Amino acid sequence: MSVTGEVFQFVPPRVPPVATEGVLPWLRRNLFSDLWNTLGTLVILGLLVTCVPPLVEWAVLNAVARADNAACRALGHAGACWGVVAEKYRLILFGRYPYEEQWRPLVATALMISLLAASCYRPFWKRWLIALWLVVLVVFFTLMFGGVFGLTFVETARWGGFPLTIMLSTIGLVTAFPLSIAVALGRRSRMPGIRTLCVLYVELIRGVPLISVLFMASFMFPLFMPAGMTIDVLLRVQVGITLFSAAYLAEVVRGGLQALPRGQVEAAQSLGLTYWQTTRKIVLPQSLRIVVPAIMNTFIGTFKDTSLVTIVSLYDLTGALQLALGDSDWRKFFLEGQLFVAAIYFVCCFAMSRYSRWIEQHLNTGTRRD
Amino acid sequence: MQASAPIIEFSRVSKWYGQFHVLRDIDLDVARGERIVICGPSGSGKSTLIRCINGLEEYQDGVLKVDGVEVTDDLKAIEAIRRQVGMVFQQFNLFPHLTVLENLTLAPMWVGRIPKREADERAMQQLVRVKIAEQAAKYPLQLSGGQQQRVAIARALCLTPKIMLFDEPTSALDPEMIKEVLDVMIELAGQGITMLCVTHEMGFARSVADRVIFMDQGQIVEQNTPAEFFSHPKSDRTKDFLSKILAH
pLDDT one-digit tens code per residue, A21-59? 778 888 888 888 888 989 999 999 999 999 998 888 888
Percent of chain B at pLDDT exceeding 70: 98
Distance between A189 CA and the closest CA of chain B, angstroms? 15
Q: Which chain B residues have a beta carbon less than 8 Å from that of A282?
A: 95
Q: Kindly tell me if the per-residue pLDDT of A164 is higher than 60.
A: yes
Distance CA B41, CA B242 (A): 10
Closest CA to A343 of A72, A195, A162: A162
- Neighbouring-strand partners of residue B222: B214
Judge whether residue A219 has pLDDT over 70.
Answer: yes
Average pLDDT score over residue span B91-101:
92
**Contact A328/B at CB under 8 A:** no
pLDDT at site A364: 67
Which one is predicted more confidently, A345 or A225?
A: A345
User: Cβ separation of B85 and A270 shorter than 8 Å?
Assistant: yes
R_g of chain A computed on alpha carbons: 28
Q: What distance in Å separates residue A135's CA from the closest CA in chain B?
A: 31
Are A270 and B94 in contact (CB < 8 Å)? no
A-chain CB neighbours of B123 within 8 Å are: none
The helix (H) or strand (E) run that includes residue B71 is: none
Q: Closest Cα partner for A338 from A307, A306, A297? A: A307
CA angle A217, A218, A223 (to 5 degrees): 85
In 3D space, the residue among B56, B86, B108, B109 whose CA is nearest the CA of residue B156 turns out to be B86
Q: What CA–CA distance (Å, rounded) separates A98 from A277?
A: 50
Taking CA–CA distances from A274, the nearest residue in chain B reads B79
Mutate to test the interface with A, among B67, B84, B97, B164 (most CBs of A within 10 A): B97
Q: How many CB atoms lie within 10 A of CB B128?
A: 13
CB atoms within 10 A of CB A96: 16
Mean pLDDT of A217-226: 78
Say what the pLDDT of residue A367 is. Answer: 58
Which candidate, B24, B8, B28, B13, places its Cα nearest to that of B59? B13
Looking at this predicted complex, what is its ipTM? 0.90
* Adjacent-strand bridge partners of B8: B30, B66
Q: What mean pLDDT value characterizes chain B?
A: 90
Cβ distance B141 to A369 less than 8 Å, yes or no, reads: yes
User: Which of B93, B142, B155 is facing A264, going by the closest CB pair?
Assistant: B93
| A117-121, B110-114, B223-227, B230-234: the lowest-pLDDT one | A117-121
Maximum alpha-carbon separation in chain B? 56
C-alpha separations of B230 from A65, A171, B37, B208, B240 in Å: 94, 69, 12, 14, 12
Position B248 scores a pLDDT of: 59
* More confident: A146 or B90: B90
Report the C-alpha gap between B50 and B33 in whole angstroms: 16
Ranges of beta strands (E only) in A257-322 are 315-316
pLDDT top residue among A137 and A88: A137
The reported pLDDT for the residue numbered B93 is: 93
Q: What is the 3-state secondary structure (H, E, C) of chain A?
A: CHHHCCCCCCCCCCCCCCCCCCHHHHHHHHCCCCHHHHHHHHHHHHHHHHHHHHHHHHHHHCCECCCCHHHHHHHCCCCCECHHHHHHHHHHHHCCCCHHHCHHHHHHHHHHHHHHHHHCCHHHCCHHHHHHHHHHHHHHHHHHHCCCCCCCCCCHHHCEHHHHHHHHHHHHHHHHHHHHHHHHHHHCCCCHHHHHHHHHHHHHHHCCCHHHHHHHHHHHHHHHCCCCCCCCHHHHHHHHHHHHHHHHHHHHHHHHHHHCCHHHHHHHHHCCCCHHHHHHHHHHHHHHHHCHHHHHHHHHHHHHHHHHHHHHCCEEHHHHHHHHCCCCCCHHHHHHHHHHHHHHHHHHHHHHHHHHHHHHHHHCCCCCCC
CA nearest to A267, candidates A253, A280, A278:
A278
Q: What pLDDT is recorded for position B189?
A: 87
Among A164-178, A229-243, A283-297, the range scoring the smallest mean pLDDT is A229-243
Size of interface A-B (CB pairs under 8 A): 75
pLDDT tens, residue by residue, A300-320? 998 888 888 888 878 888 888
Please give the average per-residue pLDDT across A190-195, as a whole number. 90
Query: Residue B210: helix, strand or coil by DSSP?
Result: coil
pLDDT of residue B3: 55
- The answer to whether A28 faces chain B, any CB pair under 8 Å, is no
- Angle at CA of residue B224, ends B49 and B23, nearest 5°: 20
pLDDT in tens, B33-57: 999 999 999 889 999 999 999 999 9
Residue A59 contacts by C-beta under 8 Å, 6 or more apart in sequence?
Answer: A79, A80
pLDDT at A247 over 80: yes
CB contact under 8 A, A272 and B140: no
Q: What is the mean pLDDT of residues A245-264?
A: 92
* Measured distance between the N- and C-terminal CA atoms of chain A, rounded to whole angstroms: 37
Sign for the CA dihedral angle at B1, B3, B4, B8 comes to: positive
**Nearest C-alpha of chain B: how many angstroms from A272?**
5
A103-112, A148-157, B179-188 — which is least confidently predicted? A148-157
Given CB atoms, is A271 within the 8 Å cutoff of chain B?
Answer: yes
Contact A266 B85 (CB under 8 A): no
Shortest CA distance from B166: residue in chain A = A270
CA distances from A364 to A172, B35, B137, B190 (A): 27, 40, 16, 40
B140: chain A residues, CB-CB within 8 Å: 366
CA distance A152 to A360: 44
Residue type, A345: Y
Tell me the mean pLDDT in the region A102-131: 87
Q: What mean pLDDT comes out for the span A259-278?
A: 92
Query: What does the pLDDT read at residue A369?
Result: 44
Residues with Cβ within 8 Å of A97's Cβ and at least 6 positions away in sequence, in order, are A104, A105, A154, A158, A159, A160, A161, A163
Give the residue-averaged pLDDT of B87-92. 94
Residue A120 has pLDDT above 90, yes or no: no
Section B61-71 average pLDDT: 91
- Cβ neighbourhood burial of A352 (10 Å; 0-12, 13-18, 19+): middle
* pLDDT at residue B2 tops 60: no
Beta bridge partners of A61: none
Mean pLDDT of A174-196: 91
pLDDT on residue B166: 95
- The residues near A264 (Cβ < 8 Å, ≥ 6 apart) are A282, A283, A286, B93, B95
Does A190 touch chain B if contact means CB atoms closer than 8 Å? no
Work out the pLDDT band at B192, boundaries 50, 70, 90. confident
